[in-house]
């Protein structure tokens, strides 16, 4: 199975900050990497697919990059609604493993 490791596990930041979350795969997954945002009691939200393609309707302050084994999610200027937990997930092969999550909290 492909292991996905995110860092950091938690992050405190202020509105307006630029933040970056890293996701590493235990083997190459080419560009088959997705990012999701999850808030308590809500459905997870699909943000980015294929490492860098923005899902329709997702604000342009979200961006993704990377290939192979190392990927990043960047939020260019945090908005109050962005405080949530973020997960990376590989769709290269089953089982479609998720990272452990990065909880983004208000400083």
Partner 1 sequence: EVQLVESGGDLAQPGGSLRLSCVVSEITFSNYAMSWVRQAPGKGLEWVSTISGSGSSTYYADSVKGRFTISRDNSKNTLYLQMNSLRAEDTAVYYCAKARGRFGDLDYWGQGTLVTVSS
Q: Which stretch binds partner 1 (CB under 8 A): 16-24, 36-44, 64-72, 75-83?
A: 36-44
Q: How many CA atoms lie within 13 A of 99 on its CB side?
A: 32
From residue 70, how far is each of 25, 29, 64, 74, 90 by CA, in Å? 7, 9, 11, 13, 11
* C-beta of residue 21 within 8 angstroms of C-beta of residue 102: yes
Residue 44 sits in the site that holds partner 1 (CB under 8 A): yes
* Residue 50 beta carbon to partner 1: minimum distance, rounded to whole angstroms: 8
Residue 2 sits in the site that holds partner 1 (CB under 8 A): no
Strand partners, 22: 7, 72
What three-state secondary structure class fits 8?
A: coil
From residue 76, how far is each of 23, 27, 79 by CA, in Å? 17, 28, 9
Residue 107 sits in the site that holds partner 1 (CB under 8 A): no
* Residue 34 beta carbon to partner 1: minimum distance, rounded to whole angstroms: 6
* Residue 99 beta carbon to partner 1: minimum distance, rounded to whole angstroms: 7
Applying the rule CB under 8 A, the residues between 58 and 97 that interact with partner 1 are: 85, 87, 89-92, 94-97
Q: Footprint of partner 1 on this chain (CB under 8 A)?
A: 1, 32, 34, 36, 38, 42-46, 49-50, 55, 85, 87, 89-92, 94-101
């Amino acid at each position: 199975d492909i292991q996905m490791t995110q860092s950091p596990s938690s992050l405190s930041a202020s509105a307006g900050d630029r933040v970056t979350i890293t996701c590493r795969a235990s083997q190459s997954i080419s560009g088959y990497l997705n990012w999701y945002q999850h808030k308590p009691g809500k459905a997870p939200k699909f943000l980015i697919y294929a490492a860098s393609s923005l899902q329709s309707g997702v604000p342009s302050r979200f961006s993704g990059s990377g290939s192979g084994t190392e990927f990043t999610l960047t939020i260019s200027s945090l908005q109050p609604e962005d405080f949530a937990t973020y997960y990376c997930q590989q769709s290269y092969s089953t089982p479609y493993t998720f990272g452990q999550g990065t909880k983004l909290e208000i400083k």
